[in-house]
Chains A and B, each alone.
Chain A
Amino acid sequence: MLKIENLHVEVDGKPILKGIDLEVGVGQVHALMGPNGSGKSTLSYVLAGRDGYDVTKGRVLYKGKDLLEMAPELRAAEGLFLGFQYPVAIPGVSNIYFLKAALNAIRAHRGEEPLDAIDFMKLSKEKAALVELPDELTKRAVNDGFSGGEKKRNEIFQMAILEPSLAVLDETDSGLDIDALKVVAKGVNAMRSPERSMLVITHYQRLLDHIVPDVVHVLIDGRIVRSGDKDLAKQLEEKGYSEVRDAPQL
């Protein structure tokens, strides 16, 4: 699904990612952990195609195609979804209107007919129920005045509607209370499928109790220093990043 090779990225001339290699297979869930400022969000933005991130070396293949060549909306249309660490508010544009436009843009790319208002409402109701997003929030302006937790839940709601092939979820668990965490995890797990891959960025082991990853990576200072199974996350929780980094790779 996704293959990152020796990826180097600079922001304003400052190296942030310093040679990332990462491969996510079809149907796999990978977790990416790492201290603040290590470059996790940077990686997610580069994958999604945000401006201002200069790839100085390396390449990224997505479904066998050169991802870095594609415009952001094309990546989205090809099934790449980014759950933002800080979702953006769009005042005046209702959540469902926005999503309907997005979904129909993606459907058009796939050569599918647009969903009409009635079918879309049905879909929206079903998916909102999945992440227990109150009806009222689906109608409000996109993320406008949403609480931190509501924004995160809204990201998962959007993912559920857009049904991506690869979802990069950047700290979708931060700012969630315990119950909300379970709801979000439930939503994500419901989306797990043999055709769908996920890269879950998180600081906390507790999310991975609910969303059990196939592989865990540790990113420190722009490099993946360790990769392992779900137990690696437990070790991190107990020992902290520096000890894990310095420990010999098993």
Chain B
Amino acid sequence: MSEEIGGEIVPDSTRELEIDNEVDLMIEDLDLWYGSKQALYGVSLPIAKNSVTALIGPSGCGKSTLLRTINRMNDLIPICHYEGKITKGDIEITAKDADLVEIRKNIGMVFQRPNPFPKSIYDNVGYGVRLHHQPTREELDAIVEKSLRRAAIWKEVADRLHDLGTSLSGGQQQRLCIARTIAIEPDVILMDEPCSALDPIATAAIEELILELKKDFTVVIVTHSMSQAARVSDYTGFMYLGRMVEFNKTDKIFSDPDQELTKRYITGRFG
């Protein structure tokens, strides 16, 4: 049940996927190709409700790809195609006729590089809400304020709500993007290395935020930082060369991993 790639024994994607919590999302046997190049090999993963699941692994192992498949963002890449199944309750996300708008509304995403709309801060947060609902001015004001507060950026922008979102600093922009995502109250928030472009203070603010968000949302976070994964997550999946090498409770992965490969990665003896 393993393969030798470049002198390295790479086990197949793991099937040991026990979790204690209620399952929110279930990924089963996902194979994905960019053109003729396979990027994911039989990845399976349960995502626990109201908890933080971290995906770790070296660059190019397919973490972003897996994340982007969950809200079907990969559909924007014409050469990308996949097989396998992702379900959320009794909704099949990967179905051909799935309602993409509904999926993306319920599964929000925060990108690696902050990408606010070139609109005002207020409109950045309010846009998605207006897209799906018809709030009155007062209701929208309340939603915008609440989302900005939850994203821990309200104090900094309260008096400049009508400035361009793009005029904020990098860390503020990322928190604005988080506010934009939680304003439409999705069930799941996908975060792709949300702190990679940020300084330590902003990173700390966002980590705190993630722990806060866990109470209401299911969070999946891709991260390069072992310590970050250990700090914020409940479950951790280690990926390597497109395979889900090991998945387990974060404590278990960081204290006593089953796989030799995982051990080498988290202790930094890799490569």
Specify whether A and B are partners. no
A residues with CB within 8 A of B: none
